[in-house]
């Protein structure tokens, strides 16, 4: 598609349409319209992607408008599908009004900047009453196409054509909105600047910007908003930022370049707040500009792109930061654990006896090791007092390569706790918190506090660094805060606290936990532990509870040994139970396809592979669409699998990989049996529960009452 190809044509327009009673019906109708115009390869695929985006947040906006939108691999060219509904439908707008004007913004996965800018113009236009009034009054599809083209691509209109007055007004308004942010305000005029962003970066990003800028015009001031959407970002003029008396952040994603606004009064909200009531936000910003005690953008937030402060509740912020730490830690665990497992595969499990006793630097590809090694035991003076002969089952090239992989894996695993602590601190304080957070992780390991010490140390470092960043320091000192003052002060204070006060208690707690874990993994308590882990892994499918169980399993791998195999059994239980939900959903869609939507059946065709790979998130589309039936069913199957895995003493030396790391799993037959039984339980239950929810016409109750489901 070239720059001269219109985003909307009459074939993409449906007037006074009866698309169905619910928003999912409307989305499917518009997806079929886009595909029918040759702009999408699969109407079902496009509808599934749009409904997935809709499930994250409603796309209804005040004024009877809805903008379902998505990026999709099924879209062949950037397009705008439009429906003016005969019967308005609830899209979850803040004013409670059902929507009669529906735009489906369909962008390909690789949409370029030019087309994303056109979609941004449309989003801005939807905030203008002249534009929406013209859409409601248009007589035919051709007129709708002209009006919308006049908003987003006015250069494509025929100069000699009969353009409607409303269309010209819309195009003029679009040009005004395009230049509003860049025009220089008069001397002495009040200036407010800000940033807007939404998850997809297409619609709400620019609607929020337009609403805020229009609210500024209504109050006789300049409001300039930088839309951080998909594609190229038109950055605010630094001189304009310098003149600004206050800042508005209306965002669902981290603000890029937050440091540009350091020290200015800030109003920090989600993007929908700006779309729904921009005027009150501008009023709050004006009030904050005159309030010395108003919240300000921290001086230490230079790269706090992962930090969302302001109005966020402290508990939510803490949870998000811990999840950030876990997310950044997982690659270290996965890489280290799989390398160790490969080392065992090539060199045998007794290669662990060589760790810290023999130096691999004594060997090379031209000087390969044998199967016996002599280890010298020395006293404090360095004298050899005894020797120990170490024998291994492998020798030569396989031993050398396996030994090397084992050492690489061990090296990666040493970063487990430091990475956890470092990125928790990063989540709370931004980049200035990384260095002290990593140091607290190392301290936690040295004092024997393990991952519990890493959690506590990372949280303390993050909060202390964030407090330092929030101090109102002189301008000459601001440049030193993020690179010197914050890391140094945080490391000094929190590090001393960890060593001198918290270290021993946390180490004692960690030791008690490990001892309790070892005892619980034996006998009847092992089955109970397996049930608990299974319920946690299947509760939120990649959410905080799932990640907590996974962290519990992976953190123990570093403490496992030939005499302590309990961590391996716990890891196997965590992995097996996490595989059950996607496998069960795939089986259920195959056995009883009539109980599922077309999109769910499509997801079921790939969920089995995600399940075999231990990717629990493969079941999320099913749980999001029907949580009251899917989640209890998957939890029941996970509990059964967990109990069986622990009872049969299945162990896994790999932290990830599912059936594809069979070489690292002991009692692999028991591993498969436990997964099959748990999958069967979940499959049967989800089919039963969904069957009970069908009415006598064979339709799901949620589908029969879409408005209630949407609410």
How is residue 364 annotated by DSSP? B
Burial class of residue 213, CB neighbours in 10 A (0-12, 13-18, 19+): buried
Which of 74, 115, 198, 538 is an active site residue?
198
Q: Phi and psi of 109, rounded to 5°?
A: -55, -35
Q: Is 251 a catalytic residue?
A: no
**DSSP assignment of 59-91, as one string?**
-EETTTEE--EEEETTBSS-EEEEEEEEEEE--
Q: Is 216 helix (H, G, I), strand (E, B) or coil?
A: helix
Q: Phi and psi of 51, rounded to 5°?
A: -70, -30
687 with 374: CB under 8 angstroms?
Answer: no
Q: Phi and psi of 313, rounded to 5°?
A: -65, 145
Q: Phi and psi of 222, rounded to 5°?
A: -95, 125
Residues near 358 by Cβ (< 8 Å), separated by ≥ 6?
A: 373, 375, 390
Helix/strand/coil (H, E, C) string of 455-513?
Answer: HHHHHHHHHHHHHHHCCCCCHHHHCCHHHHHHHHHHHHHHHHHHHHHHHHHHHHHHHHH
Beta strands 65-66 and 60-61, pairing class: antiparallel
Structure tokens that stand for 61 in this block: 């906006």
Q: For the chain, give me the number of helices (H) and strands (E)? A: 27, 14
The closest of 542, 534, 557, 548 to 654, measured between CA atoms, is 557
How is residue 159 annotated by DSSP? T
Residue given tokens 């299947």 in the structure block:
538
User: How many CB atoms within 10 Å of residue 401?
Assistant: 17
At what angle are helices 486-497 and 434-446 packed, to 10 degrees?
Answer: 20
The closest of 289, 379, 394 to 344, measured between CA atoms, is 394
Question: Long-range contacts: 185-191, Cβ < 8 Å, 24+?
Answer: 185/222, 185/240, 185/243, 189/221, 189/222, 190/221, 190/222, 190/245, 190/286, 190/289, 191/221, 191/222, 191/223, 191/224, 191/240, 191/243, 191/244, 191/245
Distance between the two ends of the chain, CA-based, in angstroms?
38
How is residue 699 annotated by DSSP? -
Q: Is 198 a catalytic residue?
A: yes
Rg (CA), the chain: 30
Residue given tokens 């590809």 in the structure block:
365
The closest of 84, 80, 99, 85 to 11, measured between CA atoms, is 80
Residues near 184 by Cβ (< 8 Å), separated by ≥ 6?
A: 240
Total number of residues shown for the chain: 711
Report the alpha-carbon distance of residue 448 to residue 444 in Å, rounded.
6
Catalytic residues: 69, 198
């Amino acid at each position: 598609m070239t720059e001269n190809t219109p985003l909307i044509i009459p074939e993409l327009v449906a007037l006074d349409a009866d698309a169905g009673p619910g928003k999912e019906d409307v989305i499917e109708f518009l997806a079929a319209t886009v595909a029918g115009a040759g702009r999408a390869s699969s109407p079902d695929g496009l509808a599934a992607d749009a409904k997935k985006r809709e499930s994250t947040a409603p796309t209804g906006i005040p004024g009877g408008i809805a903008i379902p939108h998505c990026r999709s691999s099924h879209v062949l060219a950037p397009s705008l599908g439009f429906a003016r509904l005969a019967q308005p439908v609830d899209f979850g707008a803040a004013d409670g009004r059902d929507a009669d004007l529906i735009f489906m913004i369909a962008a390909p996965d690789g949409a370029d900047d030019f087309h994303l800018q056109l979609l941004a113009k449309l989003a801005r236009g939807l905030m203008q009453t002249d534009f929406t009034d013209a859409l409601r009054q248009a007589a035919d599809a051709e007129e709708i196409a002209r009006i919308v083209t006049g908003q987003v691509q006015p250069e494509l209109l025929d100069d000699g054509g009969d353009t409607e007055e409303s269309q010209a007004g819309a195009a003029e308004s679009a040009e005004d909105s395009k230049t509003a942010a860049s025009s220089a305000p008069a001397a002495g005029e009040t200036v407010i600047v800000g940033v807007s962003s939404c998850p997809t970066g297409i619609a709400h990003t620019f609607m929020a910007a337009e609403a805020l800028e229009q609210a500024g015009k209504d109050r006789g001031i300049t409001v300039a908003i930088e839309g951080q959407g998909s594609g190229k970002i038109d950055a605010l003029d630094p001189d304009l930022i310098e003149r600004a008396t206050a800042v508005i952040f209306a965002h669902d994603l981290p603000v890029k370049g937050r440091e540009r606004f350091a020290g200015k009064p800030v109003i920090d909200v989600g993007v929908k707040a700006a779309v729904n009531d921009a005027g009150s936000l501008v009023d709050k910003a004006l009030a904050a500009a005159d309030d010395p005690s108003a919240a300000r953008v921290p001086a230490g937030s230079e790269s706090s792109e992962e930090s969302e402060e302001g109005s966020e509740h402290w508990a939510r912020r803490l949870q998000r930061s811990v999840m950030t730490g876990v997310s950044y830690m997982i690659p270290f665990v996965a890489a280290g654990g799989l390398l160790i497992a490969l080392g065992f595969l090539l060199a045998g499990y007794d290669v662990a006896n060589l760790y810290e006793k023999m130096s691999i630097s004594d060997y090379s590809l031209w000087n390969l090791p044998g199967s016996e090694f002599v280890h010298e035991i020395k006293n404090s003076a360095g004298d050899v007092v005894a020797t120990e002969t170490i024998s291994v089952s492998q020798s030569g090239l396989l031993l050398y390569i396996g030994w090397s992989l084992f050492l690489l894996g061990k090296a990666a695993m040493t970063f487990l706790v430091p990475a956890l602590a470092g990125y928790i601190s990063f989540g709370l304080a931004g980049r200035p918190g990384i260095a002290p957070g990593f140091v607290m992780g190392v301290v936690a390991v040295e004092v024997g506090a393990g991952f519990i010490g890493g959690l506590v140390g990372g949280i303390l470092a993050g909060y202390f660094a964030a407090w330092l960043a929030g101090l109102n320091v002189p301008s000459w000192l601001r440049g030193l805060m993020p690179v010197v003052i914050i890391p140094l002060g945080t490391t000094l204070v929190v590090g001393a606290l960890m060593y001198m006060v918290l270290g021993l208690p946390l180490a004692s707690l960690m030791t008690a936990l490990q001892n309790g874990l070892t005892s619980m993994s034996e006998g009847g308590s092992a089955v109970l532990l397996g049930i608990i882990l299974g319920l946690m892994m299947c509760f939120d499918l990649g959410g905080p509870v799932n990640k907590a169980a996974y962290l519990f399993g992976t953190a123990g791998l570093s403490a496992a040994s030939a005499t302590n195999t309990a961590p391996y059994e716990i890891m196997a239980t965590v992995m097996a139970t996490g595989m059950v939900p996607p496998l069960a959903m795939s089986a259920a869609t195959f056995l009883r396809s009539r109980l599922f939507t077309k999109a769910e059946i499509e997801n079921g065709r790939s969920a089995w592979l995600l399940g075999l790979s231990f990717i629990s998130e493969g079941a999320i589309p099913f749980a999001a669409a029907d949580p009251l039936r899917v989640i209890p069913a998957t939890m029941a199957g996970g509990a059964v699998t967990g109990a069986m895995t622990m009872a049969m003493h299945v162990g896994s030396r790999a932290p990830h990989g599912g059936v594809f790391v069979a070489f690292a799993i002991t009692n692999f037959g028991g591993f498969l049996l436990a997964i099959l039984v748990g999958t069967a339980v979940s499959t049967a239950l989800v089919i039963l529960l969904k069957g009970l929810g069908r009415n006598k016409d064979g339709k799901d109750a949620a589908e029969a009452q879409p408005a209630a489901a949407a609410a």
